Structure 1
Amino acid sequence: MDEQKILNAFSEGFDCSQVVLSSVSAELGIDDVTAKKISACFGGGMFCGSTCGAITGALMAIGLKYGHSMPNTPDIKNENIAKLMEFKGKFLEKYDSVICKEILGYDISVPEDMEKIMEKQLLTTFCPKLVADVISTLKEVI
């Protein structure tokens, strides 16, 4: 998904987590509406600057594809963890953290910081590039 499509999704009110999970929803066997609803609470690091929403969207996708759902299935669980770690490692080759407020340099939940984020247009310049990177990395892993 290119940065312009991501920016369009943002302008429609969707968050980074929703864009990431919905970008792979068809290949994971879930519809776009379900993907967007599942990931709706994770943008902006759960709207408190915690783990980046794009990351949580990717981890949801990895869990949907590789996650264990039956008891006593350590091999499946270990494969899921290996995919999670592979994704995280690739992401951290490009970015210094998986934490939204550390990546942006500002905490989205602090009004003064949000003013700076808007002033610097990070949500329309930096974040679409990051989301595109996350989607690309996710597709390499899954």
Structure 2
Amino acid sequence: MDNAARTVDLFLNGRICSQAVLTVFGEPYGLDSELAQKLGRPLGGGMGRLGRTCGAVTAAILILGLAKDHADKNEAKRIAFASVQEFVRRFEALHGTVECKNLLGADVSTKEGLKQIQEEKLFATVCPNFVGDAANILDELLAI
């Protein structure tokens, strides 16, 4: 099973988007599953259910920070920033945005929006696409 499939599988089996990305992609950098779950917990729902940046995206950005290291800290920052910009560019090319509430088409930060998301089962039906795409893009950028 490839990284994207593993990430989506974890998401569909109880982990939130950010936890799934951090669990699969954090392992090679020494991030164990328990710590990945703790770190990812507040990122779901667009950072604490605020509907802002998608948890799969924010988790991928954290992984890029781990992966794109360099002995020279200024170079590490330049590489990390460029990697994040490329990640966001690719994700937005696929989905038009990185904002959770816009991806879902309902604002998770409001009572009404959350009700719509739950009634329409949007987390289960549309989020796997975002999680899988975030994982695929991250795989591509980590290979560079």
User: Residues of 2 paired with 1:5 and 1:23: CA distance?
Assistant: 9
Matched, 1:6 2:7: no
Aligned to 1:58: 60
User: Residues of 1 paired with 2:131 and 2:92: CA distance?
Assistant: 14
**Shift of the alpha carbon at 1:6?**
2.6
The residue type equivalent to 1:94 in the other structure is L
**Which digits, 9 at most, give the CA deviation of each residue in 1:88-133, with x for residues without a partner?**
1111110111111111111112111111111211111100121011
For residues 94-105 of structure 1, the aligned pairs below 5 Å read 94-105=94-105
> TM-score scaled by structure 2?
0.86
What SS is found at the alignment partner of 2:31? coil
Matched, 1:48 2:53: no
**Shift of the alpha carbon at 1:75?**
1.2
**Which digits, 9 at most, give the CA deviation of each residue in 1:56-100, with x for residues without a partner?**
1101111122257x8x72111101111111111111110111111
Structure 1 alignment gaps of length 5 or more: none
Aligned to 2:39: 38
User: Residues of 2 paired with 1:114 and 1:67: CA distance?
Assistant: 38
Aligned to 1:82: 82
Tell me the percent identity: 35
For residues 103-114 of structure 1, the aligned pairs below 5 Å read 103-114=103-114
**Shift of the alpha carbon at 1:29?**
2.0
The residue type equivalent to 1:50 in the other structure is R
Paired residues of 2:10 and 2:20 also in contact (CA < 8 A): no
User: Residues of 2 paired with 1:79 and 1:59: CA distance?
Assistant: 12
User: Residues of 2 paired with 1:108 and 1:85: CA distance?
Assistant: 25
User: Residues of 2 paired with 1:5 and 1:26: CA distance?
Assistant: 14
The residue type equivalent to 1:77 in the other structure is K
The residue type equivalent to 2:11 in the other structure is I
Paired residues of 1:6 and 1:132 also in contact (CA < 8 A): no
Aligned to 2:29: 28
Residues matched between the structures, number? 136
User: Residues of 2 paired with 1:113 and 1:82: CA distance?
Assistant: 34
